[in-house]
């Protein structure tokens, strides 16, 4: 068995919230290389999406392992030191706890982990997003694992025909429900279609029960009880064989659907697929980005990555995203570009209401 852990945090942006500084990535690389030499990790890859630092690690310790989580936490602390020296913007912003307490979950960083038996060929796609929240994976995961108009394998591949099981989390009430596709898709969509509240945590193959996908489902704003940043979630997807083919996994991102989280975490905008190099959300701090790093696993070794959206077949999605961005921006401070009041992470509403209290009169 091998465990793949993707643990990420925004520990400082360069410039503003638009990107990451090379020295921060260098520090993380140093730390992870040492952990590999010390045999804590089998292999690793350090990357970024916008201002989020991504630690991609394989190891033999299983999910939610204290030594791996503590190592990731300490790495973020070390990288925060570099960020502070450079006075990067929001240095250490996602590290919400003062001290490590067993597990990085609930401490600020985002976590997606899966333990599995490596197959003869193990293609893995790791999606990473900036300027959006964990529910952003709902639509693409539905398409990959439940929509035959996206994934023809559900219809014509014998090993996929039984469908997939979805574990959906209610991120506000802290509850979860498991529903089967295709039998229960109408019930499933009722929840998945409301991504600000319900987020797909995991997907399983119904025949083998094998893990197919895992995402991070933190809601930073909920955890801190005040605005501290965006979830900027990650999602691991296993591919080929009994899982959707690489092309079926990537296909949902040809449509730059709307997600929440643009500018001050308070606007809807198109989810733009870009290369990792181009994941620098700068226009109105966006539009929200998604990148995809592809690996072949070999005895836990991360062979790769291939930068999967660095491909002309996603040019049209990027163009459409820019057009949708113009259209959404034309609404300025009006909904539905601006999020509904209860979803806004930044809001001056309470202060304004207090100030104008006496001036509200009964109709
Ligand atoms: C951060 C984000 C940005 C910030 C905005 C204000 O992920 O989405 O839009 O919310 O740049 O940032 P501060 O409050 O740090 O000046
Ligand atoms: Mg930031
Ligand atoms: Mg970010």
pLDDT in tens, 315-333: 999 999 999 999 999 999 9
Choosing from 68, 95, 114, the residue where a domain stops is 114
pLDDT computed for residue 347 by the predictor: 64
| Residue 232 alpha carbon, nearest atom of ligand 1 | 7
What does the radius of gyration of the chain's CA atoms come to, in whole angstroms? 20
Query: Are residues 199 and 104 both part of a single domain?
Result: no
Choosing from 98, 114, 130, the residue where a domain stops is 114
pLDDT computed for residue 172 by the predictor: 83
Query: Are residues 58 and 95 both part of a single domain?
Result: yes
Ligand 2 centroid distance, CA of 183 (Å)? 40
Q: In this model, does residue 221 exceed pLDDT 90?
A: no
Domain annotation covers residue 357: no
End-to-end CA distance of the chain: 66
Catalytic-labelled residue, pool 8, 10, 52, 130: 10
Q: In this model, does residue 18 exceed pLDDT 80?
A: yes
Instruction: Write the DSSP symbol of residue 109.
Output: -
Mean pLDDT of 272-294: 98
pLDDT computed for residue 268 by the predictor: 97
Beta carbon of 264 within 6 Å of any ligand 1 atom: yes
Domain annotation covers residue 212: yes
pLDDT computed for residue 44 by the predictor: 98
pLDDT computed for residue 353 by the predictor: 76
Distances (CA, A) of 190 to 4, 179, 185, 275: 31, 11, 9, 32
* 236 and 63 Cβ atoms separated by less than 8 Å: no
Choosing from 73, 99, 114, the residue where a domain stops is 114
Q: In this model, does residue 23 exceed pLDDT 70?
A: yes
| Mean pLDDT, rounded, of the chain | 94
Measure the CA dihedral 201/191/238/132, to 10°: -70
- Peptide bond between residue 287 and the one before it cis (omega within 30 degrees of 0): yes
Find the range with the poorest average confidence among 111-125, 198-212, 214-228, 304-318. Answer: 214-228
Domain annotation covers residue 152: yes
Ligand 3 centroid distance, CA of 148 (Å)? 33
Query: Are residues 139 and 182 both part of a single domain?
Result: yes
Query: Are residues 147 and 110 both part of a single domain?
Result: no
Taking only the tens place, the pLDDT of each residue in 223-243 is 655 555 568 999 999 999 999
Query: Are residues 264 and 144 both part of a single domain?
Result: yes
pLDDT computed for residue 53 by the predictor: 98
Beta carbon of 263 within 6 Å of any ligand 1 atom: yes
Query: Are residues 159 and 291 both part of a single domain?
Result: yes
Beta carbon of 16 within 6 Å of any ligand 1 atom: yes
Beta carbon of 130 within 6 Å of any ligand 1 atom: no
Domain annotation covers residue 352: no
Query: Are residues 65 and 93 both part of a single domain?
Result: yes
Q: Mutation test of ligand 1: which of 221, 285, 348 has the most ligand atoms closer than 8 Å to its C-beta? A: 285
CATH number of the domain enclosing 57 = 3.30.70
Count of domains forming the chain: 2
Domain annotation covers residue 361: no
Query: Are residues 146 and 166 both part of a single domain?
Result: yes
pLDDT computed for residue 307 by the predictor: 98
- Band of residue 90 on the pLDDT scale cut at 50, 70, 90: very high
| Residue 17 alpha carbon, nearest atom of ligand 1 | 1
* 127 and 290 Cβ atoms separated by less than 8 Å: yes
Domain annotation covers residue 39: yes
Q: Mutation test of ligand 1: which of 17, 49, 218 has the most ligand atoms closer than 8 Å to its C-beta? A: 17
| Residue 345 alpha carbon, nearest atom of ligand 1 | 10
Q: In this model, does residue 52 exceed pLDDT 90?
A: yes
Annotation says 10 is catalytic: yes
Residue 58 domain boundaries: 1-114
| Residue 262 alpha carbon, nearest atom of ligand 1 | 8
Q: Mutation test of ligand 1: which of 13, 14, 16 has the most ligand atoms closer than 8 Å to its C-beta? A: 16
Query: Are residues 105 and 127 both part of a single domain?
Result: no
Taking only the tens place, the pLDDT of each residue in 167-190 is 999 988 889 999 999 999 999 999
Query: Are residues 150 and 121 both part of a single domain?
Result: yes
Query: Are residues 100 and 123 both part of a single domain?
Result: no
Q: Around Cβ 293, how many Cβ atoms within 10 Å?
A: 24
Q: In this model, does residue 348 exceed pLDDT 60?
A: yes
Q: In this model, does residue 86 exceed pLDDT 60?
A: yes
Domain annotation covers residue 349: no
pLDDT computed for residue 352 by the predictor: 78
Mean pLDDT of 10-23: 98
**Segment 171-177 long-range contacts (CB within 8 Å, at least 24 positions apart):** 171/134, 171/135, 171/197, 171/198, 171/199, 171/217, 171/219, 171/222, 172/197, 172/219, 172/222, 176/201
pLDDT computed for residue 351 by the predictor: 76
Domain annotation covers residue 354: no
Catalytic-labelled residue, pool 198, 230, 232, 285: 230
Q: In this model, does residue 9 exceed pLDDT 90?
A: yes
Ligand 3 centroid distance, CA of 55 (Å)? 14
Query: Are residues 196 and 337 both part of a single domain?
Result: yes
Catalytic-labelled residue, pool 78, 170, 180, 227: 227
């Amino acid at each position: 068995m091998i465990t793949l852990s993707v643990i990420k945090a925004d520990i400082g942006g360069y410039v503003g919230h638009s990107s990451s500084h090379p020295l921060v990535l260098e520090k993380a690389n140093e730390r992870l290389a040492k952990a590999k030499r010390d045999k804590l990790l089998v292999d690793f890859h350090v990357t970024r999406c916008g201002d989020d630092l991504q630690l991609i690690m394989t190891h033999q310790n299983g999910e939610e392992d204290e030594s791996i989580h503590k190592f990731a936490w300490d790495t973020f602390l070390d990288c925060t030191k570099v960020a502070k020296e450079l006075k990067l913007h929001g240095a250490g912003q996602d590290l919400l706890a003062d001290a490590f307490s067993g597990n990085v979950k609930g401490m600020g960083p985002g976590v997606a982990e899966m333990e599995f038996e490596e197959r003869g060929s193990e293609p893995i796609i790791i999606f990473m997003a900036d300027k959006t929240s964990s529910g952003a994976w709902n639509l693409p995961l539905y398409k990959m694992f439940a929509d035959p108009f996206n994934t023809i394998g559900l219809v014509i591949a014998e090993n996929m025909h039984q469908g997939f099981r979805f574990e959906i989390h209610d991120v506000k009430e802290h509850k979860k429900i498991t529903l089967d596709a295709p039998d229960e898709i109408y019930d499933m969509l009722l929840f998945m279609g409301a991504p600000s509240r319900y987020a797909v945590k995991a997907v399983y193959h119904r025949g083998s029960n094998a893990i197919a996908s895992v995402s991070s489902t933190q809601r930073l704003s909920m955890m801190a009880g005040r605005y501290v940043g965006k979830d900027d979630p990650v999602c691991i997807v296993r591919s080929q064989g009994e899982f959707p083919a690489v092309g079926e996994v990537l296909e949902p991102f040809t449509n730059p659907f709307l997600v929440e989280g643009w500018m001050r975490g308070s606007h809807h905008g198109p989810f733009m697929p870009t290369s990792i190099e181009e994941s620098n959300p700068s226009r109105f701090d966006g539009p929200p980005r998604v990148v995809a790093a592809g690996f072949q696993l070999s005895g836990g070794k991360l062979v790769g990555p291939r930068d999967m959206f660095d491909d002309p077949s996603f040019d049209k999605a990027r163009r459409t995203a820019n057009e949708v961005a113009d259209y959404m921006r034309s609404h300025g401070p009006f909904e539905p570009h601006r999020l509904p009041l209860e979803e806004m992470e930044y809001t001056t509403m309470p202060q304004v209401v207090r100030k104008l209290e006496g001036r509200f009169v009964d109709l």
